[in-house]
A and B are shown apart, each in its own frame.
Chain A
Amino acid sequence: MRFELIRRDRASLEMALMAPVLALLAAGLVSWALFAAMGVPAGRALWTIAATPFSTWYDFSEVLVKTAPLLLIAQGLAIGFRARVFNIGAEGQLLIGAICASAIPVLLPSAGSPLLWVAMMALGMVGGAAWAAIAAFWRTRLNANEILVTLMLSLIAAQILTYLLLGPWKDPMGMNFPQTRMFQPGALLPGLLPGTRVNLSLLFGVAATIAAYVFMQRSVTGFRLIVTGTAPRAAGYAGVSAARGVWLSLLISGAAAGLAGAAEVAGPLGQLQRSISQGYGFAAIIVAYLGGLHPVGIAVSSLVMSAIYIGGDNAMVFADLPQSAVLVVQGLLLTFYLIAATFVRYRIAWTGTARA
């Protein structure tokens, strides 16, 4: 039995909706086999990952805490992805955003304004956008591949963070831990749901979703970006500037990632630490694709991904799962989604006989 892929007459809506579900199921199945092979109680581990995030109000509030940065970053990335500008370094932009935002409370520890966080958010966005702008510059100037540039810039960002935390910004009273001092109250984001760590950054995510929806589905600029991504020649024909698309995509996604970083340090953490991100910048790539690069889809997929984070944490505790296993689950999810997404545009045709 051989098969081949045949292009469909039109994109299949059912398949577009089914793809993430199928990807979840397939990723679950393979993880199950993998956990079993590792000697971990596979059923229990999967159950922990899938169910515990929604079992208690506290767990669910933690899911929302993690949803916020994922949602924010993924909405920004998806805009670029639809224009075929692949910003893979949101992680770095997030770190730079966090560093820029932290500069205010770290350098002005006695500033007492209750609205310090507003300036921090702005600075975070600017920082993230500036970091991404480096890639845009080289892409438009030298046609340097933005995938590589953004990715390598993430490594540099991580080194900058380490340098600051081990050197100039280290908390003098922090018993030599690589972290800054705790921020003053004015430098913290207001909480959203009392009794939980959910804060304003979730609203940023929601606002980004609405903005992304309007931008991509309604605005002329968004339409042009999509044309650049789907048919570059037609874009040139219509007079849409490819360079402008690159700049716009990278600035938007950089700003979103920077804001997410700022909101992390001013939100759940309250200080700049080494582990501010937990790989949000990379996970958001998966979130963006799982959501079909559509603002509404991303809102759902960010919740799912965040639940996997929380579930994975729980599984580490209760099912003895190594931390890297969660990364494997995420990777499987993306792989299977990309496979399933192929069938939105293509169908399988079975050819009965083997080639002579």
Chain B
Amino acid sequence: MTPGATSGPASGQPEAGHPEPPRQGSQPEPGCDVPLLRLRGVSKSYGAVQANRGVDLTVMPGSIHAILGENGAGKSTLMKMIYGVEAPDAGQIEWNGAPVALTSPSEAGRLGIGMVFQHFSLFDTLTVLENVALVVPGSPRRLAARIATLGRDYGLQVDATEYVGALSVGERQRVEILRCLMQDPRLLILDEPTAVLPPQMVTRLFSTLRVLRDRGVSILFISHKLDEIRELCDAATVLRDGQVTGHADPRDTDTRSLTRMMIGRDLPPALPAEPGGAEGAVQLQLSQLDWTNPDPYAPDLRGIDLKLRGHEIVGIAGISGNGQSELCALISGETRLPTRAAGAIALRGQSVGAMGAAGRRALGLAYVPEERLGHGAVPEMTLWQNALLTAQSRGLTRRGMVDRRAALRFAQDCIAGFDVRTAGPEAEAGSLSGGNLQKFVVGREIMLAPSVLLVEQPTWGVDVAAAAEIRRRLIEMRNAGCAILVISEELDELFEICDRLHVLHDGRLSPSLVTARTTPEEVGEWMIGAGRPDAAPAGKGGGTGPARPGSSGTNADRPDTARPDSARPAPSHPDRSDPAAEGPGAGAASEGSDHAV
């Protein structure tokens, strides 16, 4: 460990945190063997649910420590206690060897603890800058400058003047991380920070975290992506049912053993989806869809063409903030087109551009949005009421009245069918762990038996076993004839389940790429706008990552989908139904991309 080493991107940070002498003089000098943080026998229960029982945890200075566990294991709860948001029922927390009572986040902040929550803690109606200014002292001008420089150095670019409400989930995540880093924490708690970041940003984030670690900052890192943990962390504590079930050094423990420690069994091997085979009718069609964003800093959608058939899963890759949220809102009906442009969106043969969300649902559309709290579910309402939110047509109402019994039954089926860990259908949605709420929302929409399913980030925050299960369900639905559109930043996932892929960049959609005949590298080029021969200079919007995604390590070890030659970016095919298209035209596209970079 080289304390004070200021190398790499973080050297641009004006008041870089050094492992300075302890801020409280009364405490013993933190040597290398005094843990920075130590938990002894910490327990916490919510009513009948025991979220943590007797947890011991030791975090050394300058260590990146992973917390592993399936959904609902108690990871977030434990972190909230360390950050002073929740009070433990029993047990002790020691900081630098001295017991502390953490009663509030500001108390934790004074000790030098910073946290990025799994669910965001930003104010939608304030700008990025104002949100930062709420917790970081300094004049607006200086803060804006720091946001810009740190964002550049850490690869976490955001527009400081943008309102948070207008940001995508991925962009909000960047703000959260940036804001936390600006406070120079000595212990940084990151609760699933990478769930909604694209691979190239994950790579940048990791190098930032390593620099921080080398300066003596400790990091508590939660993620369901075991590869990430093995790449980054030097210690791991595994939780199950609120209890510590093991410790491991992730650098020399393989994914399989880590999985077994987490869920107590082996995961069935992930099979790449067989191609659907049957060719269904076109269920959703976008034709030259144009949409001018009322927000001048967010991307417009331009000339989007997309055909989605039954019996297929089509993925839309791309870095969030390139028009994903806008596209989803247009497809779901939360944003409507003016009547004269209504024909740009056709759902099951009917032009629906000007129709509201309810009408489209009635036509057989279901939708899982990326933000589950407040969008896909009402956190203050119970699960059965949240079932009622979109499943009314499934017999949950009778003559205009709520059929509470039926709603309870529906919620109960969803809980059982998708292994949602919760006290029951009467639990408030906001009390569920992040992954469990995700399972509930996905389950609810699947249970609607839609003909067209639009899914954003299907496995956000879901543990490995549950993610595999969700993917299996999606493939099952496809085989039964459903048309599924998946929007995700996770290339691995898209490659695993999709028959075809598009890439959304700066409001434009790439031509269709057949998954089996494309590569992550080619998709990556489209993601940074280089796939298009006429790659225009990035217009407005799109705080996109600069790194070339092809170099990201996470793509290398994904299950090998049927891919004939992965040596060089294979030329793509505009459509699956036209396999003979392998020719100079498609080749030229990727040639041109090389020049455009």
Chain A residues close to B by CB (< 8 Å): 4, 6, 9-11, 218-221, 223, 227, 230-231, 233-234, 236-241, 349-352, 355-356
B385 touches A234 (CB 8 A): no
B110 touches A220 (CB 8 A): no
Query: Is B431 engaged at the interface, CB distance under 8 Å to the other chain?
Result: yes
| Chain B residue contacts of A234, Cβ below 8 A | 374-378, 389
How far does the Cβ of A93 sit from chain B's closest Cβ, in whole Å?
26
How far does the Cβ of A83 sit from chain B's closest Cβ, in whole Å?
13
Query: Is B379 engaged at the interface, CB distance under 8 Å to the other chain?
Result: yes
| Chain A residue contacts of B360, Cβ below 8 A | 239
Closest Cβ neighbor of A356 among chain B residues:
B110
Partner of B402, one of A10, A223, A355: A223
How far does the Cβ of B410 sit from chain A's closest Cβ, in whole Å?
14
* Residues from 361 to 381 in B contacting A, C-beta threshold 8 Å: 361, 367, 369, 371, 374-381
Given contacts A6-B85, A351-B107, contact A230 B378 (CB under 8 A): yes
Partner of B431, one of A9, A238, A241: A9
* Residues from 328 to 343 in B contacting A, C-beta threshold 8 Å: 332-334
A227 touches B378 (CB 8 A): yes
Given contacts A4-B106, A218-B402, A230-B381, contact A239 B356 (CB under 8 A): yes
Cβ contacts B404-433/A at 8 Å (1 or 0 each): 000000000000000000000000100100
Partner of B397, one of A220, A238, A350: A220
Q: How many residues of B contact A (CB 8 A)?
A: 39
- Please give 11 more A-B residue pairs, beta carbons under 8 A apart, in addition to A230-B378, A233-B371, A236-B334: A219-B400, A221-B400, A223-B388, A230-B381, A231-B374, A231-B379, A233-B375, A237-B376, A238-B389, A351-B104, A356-B110
Partner of A218, one of B104, B378, B379, B401: B401
Query: Is B498 engaged at the interface, CB distance under 8 Å to the other chain?
Result: no
Q: List 18 A-B contacts (CB under 8 A).
A: A6-B85, A6-B104, A219-B402, A220-B392, A223-B388, A227-B381, A230-B378, A230-B381, A234-B376, A237-B334, A237-B367, A238-B357, A239-B333, A239-B356, A239-B357, A239-B360, A351-B103, A352-B101
State the CA gap A9–B85 with chains docked (Å).
Answer: 10
| Chain A residue contacts of B379, Cβ below 8 A | 231
How far does the Cβ of B395 sit from chain A's closest Cβ, in whole Å?
12
Given contacts A220-B392, A227-B378, A227-B389, contact A237 B332 (CB under 8 A): yes
A237 touches B375 (CB 8 A): yes
How far does the Cβ of B47 sit from chain A's closest Cβ, in whole Å?
8
Partner of B385, one of A223, A239, A355: A223
B390 touches A238 (CB 8 A): yes
| Chain A residue contacts of B389, Cβ below 8 A | 227, 234, 237-238
Most chain-B Cβ atoms within 10 A of its Cβ — which of A4, A9, A231?
A231
How far does the Cβ of B249 sit from chain A's closest Cβ, in whole Å?
35
| Chain B residue contacts of A350, Cβ below 8 A | 103
Q: How many A-B residue pairs have CB under 8 A?
A: 82
State the CA gap A351–B103 with chains docked (Å).
Answer: 7
Query: Is B359 engaged at the interface, CB distance under 8 Å to the other chain?
Result: yes
B103 touches A349 (CB 8 A): yes
How far does the Cβ of A124 sit from chain B's closest Cβ, in whole Å?
26
Query: Is B588 engaged at the interface, CB distance under 8 Å to the other chain?
Result: no
B106 touches A351 (CB 8 A): yes
| Chain B residue contacts of A349, Cβ below 8 A | 103-104
| Chain B residue contacts of A233, Cβ below 8 A | 371, 374-375
| Chain A residue contacts of B380, Cβ below 8 A | 11, 230-231
State the CA gap A350–B376 with chains docked (Å).
Answer: 35
Partner of A10, one of B103, B359, B431: B431
| Chain A residue contacts of B378, Cβ below 8 A | 227, 230-231, 234
A219 touches B401 (CB 8 A): yes
Query: Is B358 engaged at the interface, CB distance under 8 Å to the other chain?
Result: yes
B357 touches A237 (CB 8 A): yes
How far does the Cβ of B26 sit from chain A's closest Cβ, in whole Å?
13
Closest Cβ neighbor of A237 among chain B residues:
B375
| Chain A residue contacts of B402, Cβ below 8 A | 218-220, 223
| Chain A residue contacts of B371, Cβ below 8 A | 233
| Chain A residue contacts of B361, Cβ below 8 A | 239
| Chain B residue contacts of A221, Cβ below 8 A | 400
Most chain-B Cβ atoms within 10 A of its Cβ — which of A223, A233, A238?
A238
Cβ contacts B128-148/A at 8 Å (1 or 0 each): 000000000000000000000
How far does the Cβ of B136 sit from chain A's closest Cβ, in whole Å?
15
State the CA gap A233–B367 with chains docked (Å).
Answer: 13
